Copies of this chain bind each other. A is one copy, B any other.
Amino acid sequence: MSGSNFKHDLFGQFARVGKALANGNRLELLEFLAQGERSVEQLALVSGLAVANTSQHLQQLRQSGLVNCRKAGLQVFYKLSSDDVVELLNKLRRVAERELADVDRLVDTFLTVKDNLEPIARKELLERVNDGLVTVIDVRPYEEFKAGHVPGAISIPLSDLHKHLDKLGTEQEIVAYCRGPHCVLAFDAVAELRKHGRTARRMEDGFPEWKHAGLPVEE
């Protein structure tokens, strides 16, 4: 029986799970799913992928056993299939962060996937703004800021960020926001700020969602 291909099949099966982790978009979907159950549409929005494409990625994840789904009315909700998957993602993230930190052009301080992904909630931000604990910056183009913004926020379009760095102290936490969950302006702003030693996070979603949640708006 020594000529068997059990071995080959076995590692092939392992690799199916590996393959599921081999694509940045799928990893992003998994990270969002780590926060809870989500519909296909939500996931498409947040990842910036086409719906059909998102659906296909999700099916791959399902076939490799990392997620499962339930249908509720018109929507299909996906979630991670077990805590093992969360742990697997954590390990993967740790290895990626630790190993790529030295080698790569992306400096260690901002290759922290989780921090970049875990934005500050709107309510928490509102409290902190009221207590004067954070500096909020609006990194959208000035026109959009003028049309309405989070109270107390200052306008620093991403392209001008470097000019305003000295205004932003290293003590107080900085929170950046932009157009919404699939806008990357705030991601890049946070990366830039961290590179210069500031403590920075993204705000949950973006201004449209802030306004839609009925929170105060300044014009």
Are B18 and A27 touching (Cβ within 8 A)?
A: yes
Given contacts A4-B188, A98-B65, A188-B6, contact A21 B24 (CB under 8 A): no
Q: Which residue of B lies closest to A182 (CB)?
A: B10
Q: Which of B11, B25, B195 contacts A25 (CB 8 A)?
A: B11
A66 partner residues in chain B, CB cutoff 8 A: 95, 99
Are A161 and B2 touching (Cβ within 8 A)?
A: yes
Interface size range of chain A in the complex:
35 or more
> Could you pull out 29 A-B pairs where Cβ atoms are within 8 angstroms?
A2-B158, A6-B113, A6-B184, A6-B187, A7-B184, A7-B187, A8-B24, A9-B109, A10-B110, A11-B28, A13-B104, A13-B111, A14-B96, A15-B22, A15-B24, A15-B26, A16-B100, A17-B96, A17-B99, A17-B100, A18-B22, A18-B27, A21-B22, A22-B22, A65-B98, A65-B103, A66-B95, A85-B95, A87-B91
Known contacts A15-B22, A82-B95; 18 additional CB pairs below 8 A are A1-B188, A7-B188, A8-B24, A9-B106, A9-B109, A10-B106, A11-B31, A11-B113, A11-B182, A13-B99, A13-B106, A14-B24, A15-B23, A15-B24, A16-B100, A17-B92, A21-B21, A87-B91
